[in-house]
């Protein structure tokens, strides 16, 4: 595992949801560091706060308390527009449900986030082609999501995340909607990307896939209860 300094640092992150005078403590005092080039899995039972933590890491949600630094920059001082810009440039998301747009081709789905950056058509095309090549889906670039298997759709979703050349890939149960064979194929793809230098943080409840990471952070009731390092 090659790492080059701290990419993400969380200090005392707490998240409380308020509904009908009920307080739900989703996260309680999370301390976490992720280094550049590291592959971290976040594991734990359903409802333990895994997805809430990932949403905060990806700037999709804000903590109730605590400090978050991304690439050395304090996140809480960012405006909504700055958060959106960093989310687009620094973070690649891979979701359980793929989240592809049905009436766009594979190429267009991967290209879409890049259009928000104002890249030239030539630059967008080069990045999309490179990303689809990496996930083995170049031959399907003119197909629509409905013409693809679940495993192929998830590969396209990975390509979409890669196209922006993010500082970190955040994967939320990336194998959750796949059979075991396609799940293994997607995990092998993530492993290859990590070997090439990608920083990955993955939420999973599947112990088989958690072992693919360098380090597993175990959550229970919104707290880190254990960290384990995988022997390679």
**CA–CA distance, 25 with 33 (Å, rounded to integer):** 21
User: Is residue 219 in a domain?
Assistant: yes
User: Is residue 44 in a domain?
Assistant: yes
The answer to whether 96 and 173 are in contact (CB under 8 A) is yes
pLDDT along the chain (232 residues), means of 10: 76 93 92 95 90 93 94 89 89 91 96 89 95 94 96 94 91 90 90 91 86 91 89 58
Q: Which residues, including other chains, have CB under 8 Å from residue 139's CB and lie 6 or more apart?
A: none
User: Is residue 162 in a domain?
Assistant: yes
- Predicted pLDDT at 7: 94
Classified as helix, coil or strand, 8 is strand
Its domain, for residue 200, covers 38-62+80-229
- Predicted pLDDT at 54: 94
If one counts the domains in the chain, the total is 1
Residue 185 sits in a domain of what CATH number? 3.40.50.300
Reported residue count of the chain is 232
- Predicted pLDDT at 1: 40
Q: Structure pTM?
A: 0.88
**CA–CA distance, 2 with 199 (Å, rounded to integer):** 10
């Amino acid at each position: 595992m090659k790492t080059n300094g701290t990419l993400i640092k969380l200090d005392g992150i707490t998240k409380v949801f308020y509904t009908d005078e009920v307080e739900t403590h989703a996260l309680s005092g999370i301390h976490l560091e992720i280094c550049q080039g590291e592959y971290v899995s976040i594991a734990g039972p359903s409802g333990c706060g895994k997805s809430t933590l990932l949403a905060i890491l990806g700037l999709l949600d804000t903590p109730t308390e605590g400090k978050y630094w991304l690439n050395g920059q304090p996140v809480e001082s960012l405006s909504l527009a700055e958060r959106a810009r960093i989310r687009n440039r620094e973070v690649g998301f891979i979701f359980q449900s793929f989240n592809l747009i049905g009436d766009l081709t594979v190429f267009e789905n991967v290209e879409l986030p890049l259009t928000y950056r104002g890249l030239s058509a030539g630059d967008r095309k080069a990045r999309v082609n490179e990303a689809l090549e990496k996930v083995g889906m170049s031959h399907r670039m003119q197909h629509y999501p409905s013409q693809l298997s679940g495993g192929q759709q998830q590969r396209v979703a990975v390509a979409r995340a890669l196209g922006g050349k993010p500082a970190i890939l955040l994967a939320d149960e990336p194998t959750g909607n796949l059979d075991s064979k396609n799940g293994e194929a997607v995990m092998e793809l993530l492993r290859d990307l990590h070997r090439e230098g990608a920083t990955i943080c993955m939420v999973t409840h599947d112990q088989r896939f958690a072992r693919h990471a360098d380090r597993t952070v175990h959550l229970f009731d919104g707290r880190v209860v254990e960290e384990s390092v995988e022997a390679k």
